[in-house]
Structure 1
């Protein structure tokens, strides 16, 4: 069986005919396998959903308990139609997984979803999965993207808090994954006091805590005089009246895109923190070299740079040109 017969792009997303399922479909389908809970990968309305237990929980938190007609927890090797699938940690956010698709007769394909190779205190680390075809993202798929150690960015945050002790530090971080990671990194860096969070983060932070992730003392950022110097909020809050309650705040944003200074300026960010839950250029190259697949497929992001690198290294590659995926969704 040829690779294109096992998995190929459609208008609804990646489709596996022998298993009759889609992976991270962008519209409702009868059967969906979901890599993780971000809104550009996990949508409501499918007939059935197969995902990790944590991703299913997160989808229920975000979309309600009736987000799909049927739900199945991914555990071990699972037979779906005429293929076997298995889920492996992706290191992206809590519950994130790569999906390995193994037909009875044909190449093994691993769909990585979104993934990261740096240690992340709020999720399981990336697990390299040997395969014939590796399907990779290329969100930061250009040689210019070399993300610093997140611990270094925490040193910058602490230095700013020490330099401006009277100014609240408002850090924008996406509600699922990034917010909890920034909080956990701040704790590792030595911030022991209360951290204030926007109400939109409360349920997902509570779920991380219930999963055994220590986020320390969190207080709501609702009072007129919030008794915390560090405040975490979703980026959308910075365009709302909510931000006006803080006097002379230091505005920060945690994202891999903060390496691009023009983006920081456009957002009015005074303290850009380059913290990404995606692989940067060295990490994606490291991963491909480590796995040594016979072929690389590229799902979304900056495809041309990675395509050229594969060509120079004699690795067959193809862009899938899937639509409907954002770089870092809110």
Structure 2
């Protein structure tokens, strides 16, 4: 049985003061087949298979997997894991509030917001005079559905690179949503169906629509309803939502419908009246991807940082060493190296390109 966790007020405003002979974090944080392992704490971060102790950054399925004996995460992430994984969410589930510091083995650990989806967190680890921040997935845009990203000064910053190429510069979110609303005024007789990932993207698109002034009903594919209900339990207001799966064909004429990307092109979508097919994803920047998916109205709305936000974040955390993972690693490593930062690719496996 692993040792219990104890709360301590160990968090500080800046990087930990280094010891002259401190071991470099790459000696005690290791890439193993199960994932990123913090040896002095005896835990993995977002393991790709079941382990004894896991710290989970957020609820997306390539980060929050079934079969862990002990799980530590925010209340939002644990609620999402229970919703999606049921009893497989973990043998024991421990909630940790943002900013609360605990002791796990020889490591002091706290979670701070990552701005990705509800409950998403960065893992801040202090050990042997070093502070390491494992960011998980993150974005820097304002999002009514989750706590905003907090940059934490550190000695090593582990960053994602989903959109780690200079070509990826996301336009303003509200401008993309207004494209959708403009299309609805141009084609009022046609249904508009928007492909959205069930966790995070769906709820964010809804709140962006509300912020842009759309107060009408939004119809949901049945697969999206449970997580919208969960977001509401966490106090996220989504306005009037109606089930699209049981609605009569006539009711969906001219309607705004959200559905998982895979459902947009299947038999379910045949119930819609001459639909305008849209997709909300950072990958819609790539026109070939939009054409391959049969997308008439690409909406570049991402839950990940774009190139400028990735490089901005590296500047803000002031880490002399950066580790890059799951994405376009080479370009970001090259950028950091040119700035005099020690940088390397972690080459973690098991993390997917979702509808980002």
SS of residue in 1 equivalent to 2:175: helix
Give the alignment partner of residue 155 of structure 1, picking from 167, 171, 178.
178
Correspondence 1:31 to 2:57: no
In 1: Cα distance, 2:32 partner to 2:133 partner: 18
Indicate conservation of the 8 Å contact 2:196/2:355, yes or no. no
Alignment of 1:119-198 (within 5 A): 119-198=142-221
Q: How does 1:205-224 map to 2 (within 5 A)?
A: 205-222=228-245, 223-224=247-248
Q: Distance in 2 between matches of 1:320 and 1:6?
A: 14
Q: Secondary structure at the match of 1:108?
A: strand
Q: How does 1:40-189 map to 2 (within 5 A)?
A: 40-75=62-97, 76-103=100-127, 105-189=128-212
| 1:8 equivalent in structure 2 | 30
Aligned to 1:235: 261
Whether the aligned pair in 2 keeps the contact of 1:92 and 1:123 (CA below 8 Å) is yes
- Mapped to 1, the partners of 2:120 and 2:42 lie a distance apart of 22
Measure the CA separation in 2 of the matches of 1:59 and 1:65. 9
**Count of equivalent residues:** 329
Give 2:290's aligned residue: 264
SS in 1 for 2:258: strand
Q: Deviations over 1:133-190 (max 9, x none)?
A: 0000000000111000100101101110000000110000000000000011011111
TM-score, normalised relative to structure 2: 0.91
1:43, CA displacement in angstroms?
Answer: 0.3
**Corresponding residue SS for 1:288:** helix
Gaps of 5+ in 1: none
Cα shift at 1:287: 0.5
Deviation at 1:79, TM superposition (A): 0.7
Q: Distance in 1 between matches of 2:33 and 2:62?
A: 14
Distance 1:159 1:288 in 2: 37
Separation in structure 1 between the aligned mates of residue 354 and residue 188 of structure 2, nearest angstrom: 31
CA distance in 2, matches of 1:155, 1:53: 33
Q: Which residue of 1 aligns with 2:15?
A: none
CA distance in 2 between partners of 1:138 and 1:38 (Å):
16
Q: C-alpha distance in 2, partners of 1:66/1:304?
A: 35
Structure 2: distance between partners of 1:113 and 1:17 = 18
Task: Name the CA distance, whole Å, in 1 between partners of 2:30 and 2:235.
Answer: 38
Gapped regions of structure 2 (runs ≥ 5): 1-22
| 1:203 is the counterpart of 2:226 | yes
Superposed CA deviations along residues 244-288 of structure 1, whole A, max 9, x for unmatched, are 111210000000000000000000000000000000000001001
Aligned to 1:313: 339
Helix, strand or coil for the counterpart of 1:46? coil
Return the match for 1:277 from 281, 294, 303: 303
**Deviation of residue 327 (structure 1)?**
2.3
